[in-house]
Each structure stands twice: as structure tokens, then as C-alpha cells.
């Protein structure tokens, strides 16, 4: 549970960096300064939703799309990560994604960040 919460904090920091420094222009977060943790709470909330979606829906999508993953030598996982990011945006009104290209790049960046977080937290 502690590892999951630390991963949520790291993903929240990635969401913050992606939107504050306009790394992906189509990825926008509507900040809530009146929330419990201020604007940072918004990023933690989005990261928590993304983490839960990735933990619950992600394995099901990966299992169902296993033939496509094998056929494309794993490149279809990028599309799955984009779908998970899109599902996160659909579940919250605080995250907006402008297009499929932004979702694919955002999913790729978040997948790499999640992998780095897993590597750091497993030590």
C-alpha cells in the first residue's frame, strides 16, 4: 500500500511537470486552489485515479489485447496506455486531453515514469 501511494505521488509530480511546463500542449489540468491540498491536491487526485484505472482496468485490457501486443512486438501497449489515460480523463472533469496524439505521448511518458517509479520503489 505504501508503494502504491508513493507511486501516486510520483505520478502526480509527472502530471504537474507535464502540464505546468507545457510539455504536452493538449494535456490540461483544471486546478482547484480551494481543495484540501490546494492545487497539488488536484494533481494527486488525477494521479490516484490514473493509478486505480491502471491497476484495475489495465491488466484486463492487456490480457484481452494480448494477440495484438504479440503481433506488434509490444507496441500496442502504447495504445493501451493512451486508452487508460483517456479513461482517466473521462472519469474526472479536472483532466482534459485534446487528441489521440496527445493521449499516446502522455501515455508513453506516464508508462516510462511508472516504470521508473517501480524501479525506484523496489529497492
Q: Which residues contact 97 (CB under 8 A, 6 or more apart)?
A: 26, 27, 28, 85, 86, 89, 103, 106
Domain count, the chain: 1
Of 83, 77, 18, which is closest to residue 53 (Cα–Cα)? Answer: 83
Whether residue 35 has pLDDT greater than 90: no
Helix (H, G, I), strand (E, B) or coil at 97: strand
Domain ranges, residue 85: 2-121
84-108 pLDDT tens trace: 999 999 999 999 999 999 999 999 9
Strand partners, 95: 29
Q: For position 122, what pLDDT does the model report?
A: 86
Amino acid at each position: 500500500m505504501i508503494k502504491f501511494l508513493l507511486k501516486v505521488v510520483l505520478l502526480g509530480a509527472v502530471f504537474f511537470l507535464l502540464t505546468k511546463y507545457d510539455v504536452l500542449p493538449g494535456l490540461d489540468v483544471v486546478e482547484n486552489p480551494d481543495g484540501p491540498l490546494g492545487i497539488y491536491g488536484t494533481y494527486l487526485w488525477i494521479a490516484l485515479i490514473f493509478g486505480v484505472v491502471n491497476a484495475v482496468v489495465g491488466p484486463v485490457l492487456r490480457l484481452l489485447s494480448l494477440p495484438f501486443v504479440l503481433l506488434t512486438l509490444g507496441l500496442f501497449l502504447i495504445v493501451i496506455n493512451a486508452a487508460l489515460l483517456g479513461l482517466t480523463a473521462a472519469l474526472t472533469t479536472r483532466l482534459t486531453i485534446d487528441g489521440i496524439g496527445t493521449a499516446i505521448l502522455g501515455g508513453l511518458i506516464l508508462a516510462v515514469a511508472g516504470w521508473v517509479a517501480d524501479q525506484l520503489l523496489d529497492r
